Amino acid sequence: MVCRKGVESIDILLTLLYLFIFPGFIFLFAFSLFTEYLDRKIYARMQRRVGPPFLQPFADLVKLSAKEDVVPENAERFMFTAAPIIGLAAIFAAFLYLPIVSSTGLHSFNGDLIVVLYLLTIPTLAMFLGGWYSGNVFGQKGGMRVASLLFSYEIPFFLTLLTPALIEGSWKMADIVTFEITHPLVFIISFLGFVIGLIALQGKLERLPFDIPEAETEIVAGPLVEYSGRRLALFRLARDAEMVVGAGLLAVVFLAGPEPIVHLEPVYLSWIVGALVFLAKTLFVIFLLILIKSAVARIRTDQMISFAYKWLIPLTLVQIFIAIIVRFLGGI
């Protein structure tokens, strides 16, 4: 009995470690800031600039947190404050379901892929609400743009992430990951889906060429126009964390996440290797996102919607059709 108690307490300790330190909140926090640094640095190098120093995102965060707390007169105080917190909380929750150290995450169940997809939609909604309740015309305009562009990238993003699930026949990310590593042909079949997912993720993160909601030259800063101080810091952190989680999701679903797992004797060692593989794949996806950002300019709202409906969604349907045929022919 005593022995059992000891084992349980160790499990609780490990779970807490997973939740809060690695790969939980603190790690995600640090990795998001590092991603922002990478984003700005590579972007700068591609423009033949030197770029910001390493601790720049951290300095921005600290500075914003120490600034005066302003709530505009026209803003609705509760929603104005709640919006960034809701967005950040949804992202952090989504991160816990990703399989990072091994093929099962903290808690793996049938349908966790769909849960992560829905959790990743919430920050967009928070952005819209924050802009809408800030009581500024530019904020409301930006909020409307966020909401109206939602459908143009969300449909291809959802559909394309479901193709590996269709090939495999399970909504569980752990199953998808292990299936992909035993059947490498899936990578070739779902390559088109990966490209579509990359473009749709760029739209989801509101980065170039889809930064229409924020369009600095048109509507100042879009939904964030009235945000200052720590609320703005939370929104920026949520944006960076969303980039990490979105890229991580693509890496899990299309690039087999932490696999191939090397089984080493103390189980901790194989977890560390798994996490390193996962990080390498995530950084690869993030690098592709930065390449897209530095290569293109902003497009108009109507151009984005017609691009999504004329190209992205038909191509996604082609990808799904391929997946169904593969399944019909008896799998791979």
Partner 1 sequence: MFKGLVKWARIKSPWILHMNCGSCNGCDIEILAALIPRLDAERFGVLLKGSPRHADVLVCTGPVTKQMKERLKRVYDQMPEPKFVVVVGQCGSSGGIYQGAYGVEGGIDKVIPVNAYIPGCPPRPDAIADGLIKLLASIAKGGNP
Closest CB to partner 1 among residues 232, 313 = 232
49 lies in the site for partner 1, by CB under 8 A: yes
> Rounded to the nearest 10 degrees, how much is the dihedral formed by the CA atoms of 138, 232, 208, 55?
150
Provide the 8-state DSSP code for 6. Answer: H
Q: In the range 181-220, which residues lie near partner 1 by CB under 8 A? A: 216, 220
The answer for residues whose C-beta is within 8 angstroms of residue 174's C-beta and 6 or more apart is 99, 103, 104, 105, 108
Tell me the per-residue interface mask from 70 to 89 with partner 1, x by CB under 8 A, - otherwise.
x-------------------
Give percent helix, percent strand, percent coil of the chain, each to the nearest 5. Answer: 75, 0, 25
Q: Shortest approach of partner 1 to residue 203 CB, angstroms?
A: 22
Nearest Cα to Cα of residue 248 among 200, 276, 285:
285
Spatial distance between the Cα atoms of 256 and 254, rounded to a whole number of angstroms: 6
Q: Show contacts with partner 1 in window 222-241 (CB under 8 A).
A: 224-229, 232
Distance of closest approach, residue 90 Cβ to partner 1, in angstroms? 24
Q: Which two tokens stand for residue 280?
A: 């390498």
Q: Which stretch binds partner 1 (CB under 8 A): 57-65, 237-245, 289-297, 312-320?
A: 57-65
Applying CB under 8 A, among 40, 183, 298, 327 the residue interacting with partner 1 is 40
Check: CB of residue 142 under 8 Å from CB of residue 131. yes
Min CB(301)–partner 1 separation in Å:
19
Can you tell me which of 90, 176, 205, 221 binds partner 1, judged by CB under 8 A?
Answer: 221
DSSP string of 86-141, one letter each residue: HHHHHHHHHHHHS--SSSS-SS--TTHHHHHHHHHHHHHHHHHHHHHTT--HHHHH
Please, what is the minimum distance in Å from the beta carbon of residue 222 to partner 1? 10
Among 2, 4, 68, 188, binds partner 1 (CB under 8 A): 68
Q: Which of 22, 25, 42, 52 binds partner 1 (CB under 8 A)?
A: 52
59 contacts partner 1 (rule: CB under 8 A):
yes
Residues forming contacts to partner 1 in the complex (CB under 8 A) are 40, 44, 47-53, 55-56, 58-63, 66-70, 216, 220-221, 224-229, 232
